[in-house]
Structure 1
Amino acid sequence: MNTLLLRSAQENDTKDKYQESFRETDVDCVSVSPIGFEFINLETLYAHISHPEDHSGLIFSSPRTVQSVALCLKKHDENNEWDARLRDEWNKLPAFSVGTSTGGEVRKLGLHPVGEDSGNAENLCRIILEAVKSGSKPLLYPCGTMRREVIPKTLQKEELPVTYRVVSSAYMITFPSFRTRTTSSMNIKKRRGPRSEPWGTPMERERSFDIVCLIETCCFLFVR
């Protein structure tokens, strides 16, 4: 059976746990994301990154948020302050991250992830609360427009100061573009047998499609 996963593919060399689970049951699959992302507010983010002394650490909840730091450095670190001093200064502070993929991106920055094996945002919050006390300088939390509210609500409840900066914005991929990407993925995999089934995470199903686009996509996948 051939399956199309409506979700973002793994963003680094780590094996995709969803695809691996399907393949263990002899289901071939390919991931195609129905949503796209763009980085925003990078100059504002760099204004914070350039002043580690004003913060008590970093919080990264996805690989994309780490990538936003790398991109803001590329665009705005004209004097190479990151290599000269900022990396060392940030390494004196914890870089809290959830997930091995996020941790891998943190290492690419030259930082050391804390909590990457926590498994989820709830467990990461426990690690943060053990390490950072109320009254400390704010934690810097780059986040996206599709962030979950677990970290903000938990830390706010404990009166832990956090500086939030939205650094990525999600948008729905229009149907013609999505159809092109889907067809390309299907052709590359040279699929045979039953046609693909749309599937994805609850967040992507909820936020990525309006009903018309979803109907059109389903019709395309099953009729072609």
Structure 2
Amino acid sequence: MSSTTSDVPVLLLKTKSIPADGYQDIFAGWNNYNPTFLPVLEHRFREDALAWLKTITTGSGFNNSDTTVDAESSFGGIIFTSQRAVEAFTSIVESLDPPTRDQLLPEALPLYVVGPATARGLRSLGLRCPIIGEETGNGAALAAFMLDHYNRLPATQTVRQNRKLPLLFLVGEVRRDIIPKSLQSSDLLEEARIGVHEVVIYETCEMASFHIDFSRALGENVASGAQEQWVVVFSPQGCKAMLDCLGWLDESGRYKSDATDSSTMTTYVATIGPTTRDYLIKEFGFEPHVSAEKPSPEGIYAAIENYRTTNVTTQL
């Protein structure tokens, strides 16, 4: 196996995160990679939810020092577990007058995140709010972290009009209920429980044009003269279309054990973690070349670099 010294195409089967994307940063920051984002899923923000969120924000629903605001419309913090939720929140923040942002979203307001990607997106907004929890990595760990952190905050931050303020959880229509159940578990003392107000801020559907977009990207990479390319898969959605476009499926929809690239370019597949890797193996009989040890830009980059160093001989 060999590659030239030209940029190696990396097809990232995801929507590029806004306002910042760690995969763009880590791959575009190195001369030998050329990242391209190919969305598999289409995310649509719910206009009614965005309007509600802006009303709550501009009405000092997050500024707990304003005692005139009804406690029923107030929240002690916000939970983010997806990039789409961050993007929805970003649209609200950017619509605010800069002089009022720190007043409406003060430094006493904790923004709880599940990992580095959500933290990175929020930090790019330049708010004074503490962005915490990114080291937790999953919903269960984040819930445990919030139970400890939120219950230790001064009552001046978490109580309004004798009511313990709930946390606002911005979610998609499909989500797990680990966080709400953990924060409101009957196993907890009543005073330790934390209310959670879930708001479905976006909806998700499969991108109808993905098959066409992926095929076009493959053709462009072949035309560029690249001798190798990487496809990074983030979820089970799009796996079948990817393998089909590559010509790696037989008539029964299973991976052809003798499948080879139809061009001089060699294609390698990386997955974000074991769930997607196991899906490819179980559903199609295809084992990806690498799977990231950690579901992060750094994890994917390290997995690809390690494989190329071990298996791909670079011709200078």
Shared fold (TM-score greater than 0.5)? yes
1:18-38 deviation digits (Å, cap 9, x = unpaired): 98xxxxxxx998653321111
Larger proportion of helix:
1
| Residue aligning to 2:269 | none
Give, in angstroms, the shift of residue 3 of structure 1. 7.9
Residue of 206, 214, 220 corresponding to 1:182:
214
Change over 3 Å in CA distance of 1:156–1:3 after alignment to 2: same
Q: Is the 8 A contact 1:98 1:119 kept in 2?
A: yes
Q: Is the 8 A contact 1:195 1:221 kept in 2?
A: no
| Residue aligning to 1:169 | 203
2:54 paired with 1:46: yes
| Residue aligning to 2:40 | 34
CA distance in 1 between counterparts of 2:119 and 2:35 reads 26
1:78-157 maps to which residues of 2 (within 5 A)? 82-83=100-101, 85-88=103-106, 91-109=107-125, 110=127, 111-133=129-151, 136-157=164-185
Letter paired with 2:22: T
Percent identical among aligned pairs is 22
Number of paired residues?
Answer: 205
Q: What secondary structure is seen at the aligned counterpart in 2 of 1:47?
A: helix
Q: Which runs of 5+ in 2 are unaligned?
A: 2-8, 28-32, 65-73, 152-157, 249-261, 263-316
CA distance in 2 between counterparts of 1:93 and 1:171 reads 32
Change over 3 Å in CA distance of 1:108–1:194 after alignment to 2: closer
Give, in angstroms, the shift of residue 112 of structure 1. 2.3
Give, in angstroms, the shift of residue 139 of structure 1. 0.5
Q: Which runs of 5+ in 1 are unaligned?
A: 20-26
Q: Is the 8 A contact 1:196 1:222 kept in 2?
A: no
Q: Is the 8 A contact 1:73 1:82 kept in 2?
A: no
Q: Is the 8 A contact 1:55 1:138 kept in 2?
A: yes
Give, in angstroms, the shift of residue 13 of structure 1. 4.3
CA distance in 1 between counterparts of 2:13 and 2:247 reads 14
1:22-80 deviation digits (Å, cap 9, x = unpaired): xxxxx9986533211111120012233231131111111122212211213445x4x66
CA distance in 2 between counterparts of 1:10 and 1:118 reads 20
Q: Is the 8 A contact 2:80 2:113 kept in 1?
A: yes
2:75 paired with 1:55: yes
Change over 3 Å in CA distance of 1:82–1:169 after alignment to 2: farther
Q: TM-score, normalised by structure 2?
A: 0.53
Give, in angstroms, the shift of residue 81 of structure 1. 7.4
| Residue aligning to 1:65 | 85
Q: What secondary structure is seen at the aligned counterpart in 2 of 1:129?
A: helix
Letter paired with 1:151: I
Higher relative contact order (CA 8 A, sep 6+): 1
1:98-144 deviation digits (Å, cap 9, x = unpaired): 11111122223313201112222222111100022497211011111
Q: TM-score, normalised by structure 1?
A: 0.72
Q: Which has the larger radius of gyration?
A: 2
| Residue aligning to 1:24 | none
CA distance in 2 between counterparts of 1:139 and 1:132 reads 9
CA distance in 2 between counterparts of 1:191 and 1:10 reads 29
Change over 3 Å in CA distance of 1:6–1:84 after alignment to 2: closer
2:220 paired with 1:200: no
Q: Is the 8 A contact 1:65 1:143 kept in 2?
A: yes
CA distance in 2 between counterparts of 1:124 and 1:188 reads 42
